[in-house]
């Protein structure tokens, strides 16, 4: 029989060979589909395979519209463009069976009164067709259809075969779509990396258009911003202040612009007596450009920022002394208890995870948690201090180990000064997808805020001084004081003799 078969057209040969041939065809279709990653190529592999295996003239793939009342052609094989353009198929009494997962056959379109578009079928010389649902998971999303030129009946194995092809196709379509999405993601990531490398290379090749700082304090300040990974520009813009005719005769050029925070910063290291002129200029600038955010840092502000990191302004380390008490032990105790009550009330329905920022928060959080009458969980994090030998800027020395996803998180801090530390921590915690994130801080040193963040609970408004005690340190000292005091720098510290006498 082999010789006789060879003389026949492939279509006939396949049709006659029955179930075994369907299996082979299915294998080939699966292979063809699986070898493409492009969703657009899946239908062609599917349609060609189905039509050939069933000895059909052509085939088509139709998808249901979102309203699920029409099938629309999305791809076809072996039928004309005109036929495809005839229009969508209504979900009628016959096609509704497909939605229920059944195959639908029209054995002879000429004698079947139900067929839609009978004239177009006739022109295309289609006499019979078989449709099977295209299913994804449990849902019918469309149909696969084969057309033949003669009237025909469809045995169960033919229906099974076409259904298997449809199932295979639906999954392949979905996979290809997912693959394309994945590919897109990979491409995006690669693009980001390339940009990052390019930027880094550019930065290395011409190291940050060597900024010429007008004053060493500006350079120091830039280093501080770099540490907190706050992007800045140095003197990026000049604002005209005074004109004579068309001529600008006076300008204001703020020192820094914090790119991500739309914040200008003017550092003035001049003596206090010389700042009057600068103040006037700044007022003028604010009048002319009320839309710009600008913050003036005086020398004393600046010194205090540096003092916090252990730089000179407070004098030689060890020569300073704790000075005037700002908050007594009793005051702190009362206030912490009140904060605990407020938290207990606000979080009664959904106890929070308390996250303390080490090390300064230790006494505060220890006391606070004992005034919260809820089943709270407690965790800690710690970030690297500025000014150490640690390269790479701010980073976490310790991260909260609890799963914060879907939790109500209450971040507990000792003191907020410029707000740079807090901002860095908040951005990090947001990435861990808590349901809510609020801040509780014992001391709010508003006076020198550079970056604002909402503070839900505040213990005290702190004076613009360097404070120690109740967790706060100067060079790791004084954390254990039960009160909070201002630090007296070396030159104000009581003479050694007096100290001994007391």
The footprint of ligand IMP (CB under 6 A) covers 308, 360, 413-422, 445, 466-468, 472-473
Per-residue tokens: 352: 């929070």
Alpha-carbon gap, residue 492 to 489, rounded angstroms: 5
Decide which of Mg ion, ligand IMP, none touches 420; Cβ closer than 5 to 8 Å per partner kind: ligand IMP
Alpha-carbon gap, residue 437 to 443, rounded angstroms: 19
Cα dihedral 26, 29, 34, 39 sign: negative
Q: Does 363 bind Mg ion (CB under 5 A)?
A: no
Q: Measured from the CB atom, is 145 or 423 closer to ligand IMP?
A: 423
Q: Measured from the CB atom, is 322 or 360 closer to Mg ion?
A: 360
- Contact range with Mg ion by CB under 5 A, out of 18-26, 339-347, 360-368, 402-410: 360-368
Cis status, amide bond into 359, omega within 30 of 0: yes
Q: Measured from the CB atom, is 61 or 440 closer to Mg ion?
A: 440
Q: CB 464 → Mg ion: shortest distance, Å?
A: 17
Measured distance between the N- and C-terminal CA atoms of the chain, rounded to whole angstroms: 120
Q: CB 308 → ligand IMP: shortest distance, Å?
A: 5
Q: CB 339 → ligand IMP: shortest distance, Å?
A: 17
Alpha-carbon gap, residue 479 to 99, rounded angstroms: 73
Q: Does 360 bind Mg ion (CB under 5 A)?
A: yes
- Contact range with Mg ion by CB under 5 A, out of 103-111, 128-136, 295-303, 356-364: 356-364
Q: Look-up: residue for tokens 């009946």?
A: 153
3-class SS of residue 1: coil
Q: Measured from the CB atom, is 60 or 421 closer to ligand IMP?
A: 421
Query: Cβ distance 103 to 126 under 8 Å?
Result: no
Decide which of Mg ion, ligand IMP, none touches 308; Cβ closer than 5 to 8 Å per partner kind: ligand IMP
Which positions ≥6 away from 53 have C-beta within 8 Å?
14, 21, 22, 25, 26, 29, 161, 165
Q: CB 456 → ligand IMP: shortest distance, Å?
A: 16
Q: Measured from the CB atom, is 241 or 468 closer to ligand IMP?
A: 468
Q: CB 481 → ligand IMP: shortest distance, Å?
A: 12
Per-residue tokens: 338: 């009140």
Count how many Cα atoms sit within 13 Å of the Cα of residue 188 in the half-sphere of its side chain: 6
Q: CB 175 → Mg ion: shortest distance, Å?
A: 50
Cα distances (angstroms) measured from residue 386 to each of 52, 54, 217, 224: 72, 75, 16, 7
Q: Measured from the CB atom, is 120 or 320 closer to ligand IMP?
A: 320
Alpha-carbon gap, residue 380 to 400, rounded angstroms: 5
Q: Does 49 bind Mg ion (CB under 5 A)?
A: no
Alpha-carbon gap, residue 167 to 392, rounded angstroms: 53
- Could you say which of 301, 417, 444, 473 is catalytic? 417
Residue whose C-alpha is closest to residue 289's, from 264, 313, 259, 267: 264
167 as an active site residue: the answer is no
Which positions ≥6 away from 248 have C-beta within 8 Å?
240, 241, 242
Catalytic residues: 417
Residues that bind Mg ion (CB under 5 A): 360
């Amino acid at each position: 029989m082999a010789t006789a078969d060879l003389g026949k057209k492939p279509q006939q040969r396949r049709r006659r060979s029955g179930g075994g041939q369907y299996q082979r065809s299915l294998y080939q279709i699966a292979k063809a589909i699986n070898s493409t990653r492009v969703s657009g190529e899946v239908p062609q592999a599917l349609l060609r395979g189905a039509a050939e295996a069933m000895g059909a003239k052509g085939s088509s793939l139709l998808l249901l519209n979102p309203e699920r009342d029409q099938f629309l052609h999305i791809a076809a094989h072996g039928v004309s463009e005109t036929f495809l353009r005839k229009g969508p198929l209504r979900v009628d009494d016959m096609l509704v069976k497909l939605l229920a997962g059944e195959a639908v056959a029209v054995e002879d379109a000429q004698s079947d009164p139900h067929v839609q578009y009978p004239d177009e079928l006739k022109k295309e010389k289609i006499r019979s067709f078989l449709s099977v649902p295209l299913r994804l998971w449990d849902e019918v999303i469309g149909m696969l259809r084969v057309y033949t030129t003669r009237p025909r009946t469809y045995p169960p194995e033919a229906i099974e075969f076409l259904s298997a092809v449809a199932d295979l196709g639906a999954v392949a379509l979905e996979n290809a779509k997912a693959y394309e999405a994945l590919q897109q993601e990979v491409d995006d990531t690669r693009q980001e990396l390339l940009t990052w490398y390019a930027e880094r290379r550019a930065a290395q090749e011409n190291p940050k258009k060597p900024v010429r700082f007008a004053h060493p304090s500006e350079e120091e300040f830039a280093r501080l911003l770099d540490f907190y990974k706050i992007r800045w520009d140095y003197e990026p813009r000049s604002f005209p202040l005074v004109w004579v005719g068309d001529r600008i005769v006076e300008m204001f050029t703020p020192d820094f612009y914090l790119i991500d925070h739309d914040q200008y910063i003017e550092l003035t290291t001049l003596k206090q007596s010389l700042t009057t002129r600068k103040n006037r200029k700044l007022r003028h600038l604010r009048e002319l450009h009320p839309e710009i955010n600008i913050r003036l840092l005086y020398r004393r502000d600046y010194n205090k920022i540096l003092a916090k990191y252990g730089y000179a302004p407070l004098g030689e380390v060890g020569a300073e002394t704790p000075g005037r008490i700002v908050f007594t032990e009793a005051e702190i105790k009362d206030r912490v208890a009140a904060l605990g009550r407020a938290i207990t009330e606000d979080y009664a329905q959904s106890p929070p995870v308390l996250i303390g920022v080490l090390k300064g928060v230790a006494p505060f959080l220890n006391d606070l948690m004992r005034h919260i009458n809820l089943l709270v969980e407690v965790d800690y994090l710690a970030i690297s201090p500025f000014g150490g030998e640690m390269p790479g800027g701010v980073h976490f020395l310790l991260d909260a180990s609890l799963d914060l996803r879907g939790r109500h998180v209450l971040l507990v801090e000792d003191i907020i000064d410029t707000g740079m530390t807090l901002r860095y921590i908040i951005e990090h915690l947001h990435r861990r997808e808590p349901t809510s994130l609020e801040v509780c801080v014992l001391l709010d040193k508003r006076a020198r805020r550079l970056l604002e963040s909402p503070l839900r609970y505040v213990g005290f408004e702190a004076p613009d001084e360097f404070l120690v005690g109740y967790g706060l340190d100067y060079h790791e000292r004084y954390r254990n004081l039960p009160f909070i005091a201002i630090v007296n720098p070396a030159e104000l510290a009581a003479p050694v003799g007096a100290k001994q006498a007391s």
